Structure 1
Amino acid sequence: MNVLVIGRGGREHALCWKLGQSPRVKTIYCAPGNAGTSRDAENVAIDPKDTRELVRFAKSRDVGLTVVGPEEPLVNGIVDAFQREGLRVFGPSKLAAELEGSKIFAKEVMRQAGIPTAEFRVFRGAPDAEQFILSREVALTLRPRGRSPVRGTQHCRTAAEAIEAIEAILDPREVLVPGQAEVEVDERGKRRSFKTIEEARRYVLTRPIGLVIKADGLAAGKGVAVCKDLGEALEAIDEIMVRRLHGRAGDRVLIEERLDGVEASVLALTDGRTIIPLESSQDHKRAFDGDEGPNTGGMGAYSPARVLTPELMAEVEREILVPIVHAMKRSRRAFRGVLYAGIMLTHQGPKVLEFNVRFGDPEIQAILMRLRSDLVDALEAVVDERLDSVALDWDPRPAVTVVMASEGYPGAYERGRPINGLDEAGAMEGVKVFHAGTATRNEPQGPRIITDGGRVLNVTAIGEDFAEARDRAYRAASAIRFTGGWFRHDIADRALKGEPPAEDRS
């Protein structure tokens, strides 16, 4: 059959590569693809959001199966459009894809189904969200000093009370001579004095909190802020709801308690009745070594995740996957596709951070390196609701993926930088270089592969053990060069050492 893969990233390149190994596949098309998919498929210059043109193309090329990679087309209802035209497509319907399209919807379903997750509050306006943040307990004692118009000690339970007291003590309308009034802030015996409202307020906002701020809608993986203090939480509200950095995704925000523990990813195929978990994986979200820096779309992954023992996987399936699939079916949103559960392994057991409705990126790159079964057979079984007839065969060897990124990522970055060393890296044993953000530029000496995204390449390797897989991935990554290119140096370090990952706070 002919197969169409929709998307342009590393996930889609991995899907093209694996689907192309099926003896049942004649031609693979990728819309729009990248410089890497052009080697494992035939690229088609159609935007993933152009549903009408994609449907027309699938009909004209007798496509027997379409696989949708990114979340946005799924949330916008591309599966429904294909099905209305009698086309076979892998992915959830628009109603089912709301599990990722709305974090608030997902939380409400989890609450109804009794699925363990963090406590949360929903806000529809910035003032209410900011008021909630400032209502957090800080337990500060304030004492006026010098010629302040206020007398007496102020015991402040919340940040809002502390800021109000500071403004009264240092009121510029009442302090006639600037600098002659001070406020002393006492926090559990530690005292600091401030002469200006700005300095004192800034100090109050550095009080630690345990909150996560999330834009409700799709924000390209950038609508979540894990906040270590009050100031960061207020800044996140300003970015999402006032400055609207993520557009309509910020119409509503979710504020939830921060969970402490070890994060892991569980992906499962489901046809709405049967659930088959894929092999476990561990993502590395933070930009820099040691899990420092801002969150990203993922700087690397490895499979299997040692922290997800068979007992824990059984618990995740029993307490999370089965209840969510049943809850969606009861609400007439039957879920068929791949269900991605971001899990925090807390001291109270596994809790859900989020649900996604597509293959994880870069987790799926490492997972597919280990899949021995025909992926076409598995995806078709989901489409035909006969997943109970499928059994997946896995290579026991581990796989490691190292993400190579553009200078400046996850912030602003330049495109168009030539990439060297791809053939050398790709020729190494056990290595596959998946392209994520690349393009081809025609030059006088011939076509040249250039950078075209923040995450540029997913260098993936399999080995007899984690040491060999990791060594192969890093040797291949080191052979690839482009100006400003960089990667983390500690992907799978803890798996290599047999240690559990460091506790994350998400």
Structure 2
Amino acid sequence: MRILVLGSGAKDHAIAWWFSQSRLINGLFVAPGNVGTESIAKNLAIDPADPKQVYEACRQNAIEFVFIGTEAPLFTGVIDYLNERGIDTFGAPSRALKLEGDRDFSRKFTDRHNIPTPTHHVFDNEEDLSDYLNRHKGERFVVKSNTIAPSRVMIDSSDYDALMRFSKKILQSASILLEDHLEGLPITLTLLVDNKGYMMLPTSSDYMKAGHGGLPTGGMGSICPVPLQESVSKSLVDTIIEPTLFGLKAEKMAYK
């Protein structure tokens, strides 16, 4: 089988490395890839979010399967475009993309299915945000774009000026999501999901800078898996994973 991985980050490198270990694969490509993927696959200089470029690369290199590693191609119709032309893919179905591309929608989804999540508000202008922060001076909040964006593009702070300065940049092109700060270590759960079940990958964590709050340390290495007590792992399954999968099926967003 000949496989193409779309992406250029560390996650995409790791996925490509796993594919490279299989004897069933006789052709491995990454688009656009990075320095690390060059040693295990052939990098393709194409835009992974352009359906026509991706399809043409598949046609020229006899690629049979495309693994969507980065988010952008999901929102530009790459999966549907390839599937309609006989190329199999791995990635979220278009009907479920609002969970990733609209954080307000995803928070309302968690509310509907009793999945614990911090109190949140959406703002689309500086005046309303400023008024809210002034009425809650000294409280600590997390602010991030309400639209698709890397999770590291956020701020965790109780400083009014820092929160407003960060938010003004986002508000030029999108609304923002403001959430109450939660104490504790942030944990990332990554699952491979279809409409029959799931497989959970090792847990990881995006560590913050030393001190209280601020910007995430995107790109900094961390320990994986994060050591968790068995009771905590069970709680994550019972309160987050299982209700989420139930909600996906109930709202007809289940993965194939």
Q: Identify whether the pair has TM-score above 0.5, normalized to the shorter chain.
A: yes
Separation in 2, partners of 1:213, 1:30: 33
User: For residue 220 of structure 2, what is the aligned residue in structure 1?
Assistant: 299
Which amino acid is the alignment partner of residue 277 of structure 1?
Answer: M
Equivalent pair of 2:156/2:215 in contact (CA under 8 Å): no
State the Cα distance separating 1:35 from its structure 2 match. Answer: 2.3
**Measured at CA, do residues 41 and 332 of structure 1 come closer, stay the same or move farther in structure 2, by a change above 3 Å?**
same
Between structure 1 and structure 2, the one with the greater Rg is 1
State the shift of 1:222 in Å.
5.0
CA distance in 1, matches of 2:35, 2:165: 38
Answer 1 or 2: which has greater strand percent.
1
| Partners of 2:51 and 2:70 in 1: CA distance | 13
Trace 1:20-419 onto structure 2 (pairs within 5 A): 20-136=20-136, 208-241=138-171, 244=172, 248=173, 250=174, 252-286=175-209, 294-306=215-227, 308-336=228-256
Q: 1:25-71 CA distances to partner (integer Å, 9 max, x unpaired)?
A: 00101111122211100111111122111012223333222111111
Q: Which amino acid aligns with 1:240?
A: I
- Describe the shift of the 1:322–1:34 C-alpha distance in structure 2 as closer, same or farther (beyond 3 A): same
Q: Give the conservation status (yes or no) of the 8 Å contact 1:212–1:226.
A: yes
CA deviations 1:63-99 (Å, max 9, x no partner) are 2221111111123332222222221111102232322
CA distance in 2, matches of 1:211, 1:291: 12
Letter in 2 for 1:209: E
Q: Kindly state the Cα deviation for residue 292 of structure 1 after the two structures are TM-superposed.
A: 7.6
- Provide the C-alpha distance between the structure 1 equivalents of 2:129 and 2:213, rounded to a whole number of angstroms: 27
SS in 1 for 2:118: coil
Instruction: Answer whether contact 1:284 1:291 (CA < 8 A) is retained.
Output: no
Please, what TM-score do these two structures have when normalized by structure 1? 0.48
- Change in Cα spacing, 1:214 to 1:294, as seen in structure 2 (3 Å) is closer
Q: Distance in 2 between matches of 1:236 and 1:279?
A: 32
Change (3 A) 1:272 1:126: farther
Stretch deviating more after TM superposition (88-97 or 71-80):
71-80
CA 326–214 in structure 1, closer or farther in 2 if over 3 Å, else same? same
Q: Is the 8 A contact 2:50 2:76 kept in 1?
A: no
Cα separation, 2, equivalents of 1:47 and 1:7: 9
Residues 467-501 of structure 1 show CA distances to partners (whole Å, capped at 9, x for unaligned) of xxxxxxxxxxxxxxxxxxxxxxxxxxxxxxxxxxx
Give the fraction of aligned pairs with identical amino acids, expressed as a percent: 27
Q: CA deviation at 1:270?
A: 0.8
Number of aligned positions between the proteins: 256
Q: CA RMSD in A?
A: 2.0
Counterpart of 2:225, as a letter, is P
Q: Distance in 2 between matches of 1:102 and 1:235?
A: 22
Quote the offset at 1:293 in angstroms: 5.8
- Per-residue CA deviation, residues 137-192 of structure 1 (Å, 9 max, x unaligned), is x5xxxxxxxxxxxxxxxxxxxxxxxxxxxxxxxxxxxxxxxxxxxxxxxxxxxxxx
Name stretches of at least 5 consecutive residues in structure 1 with no aligned partner: 139-207, 337-506
Q: Distance in 1 between matches of 2:241 and 2:12?
A: 24
- Distance in 1 of aligned mates of 2:111 and 2:69: 28
8 Å contact kept, 1:46–1:54: yes
Aligned counterparts of 1:41 and 1:335: Cα–Cα separation in 2: 28
Contact 1:283 1:302 in 2 (8 A): no
The 2-side partners of 1:285 and 1:78 are apart by 34
Superposition TM-score, scaled by structure 2 size: 0.91
8 Å contact from structure 2 (residues 122, 146) kept in 1 = no
- Cα pair distance change 1:37/1:115, threshold 3 Å: same
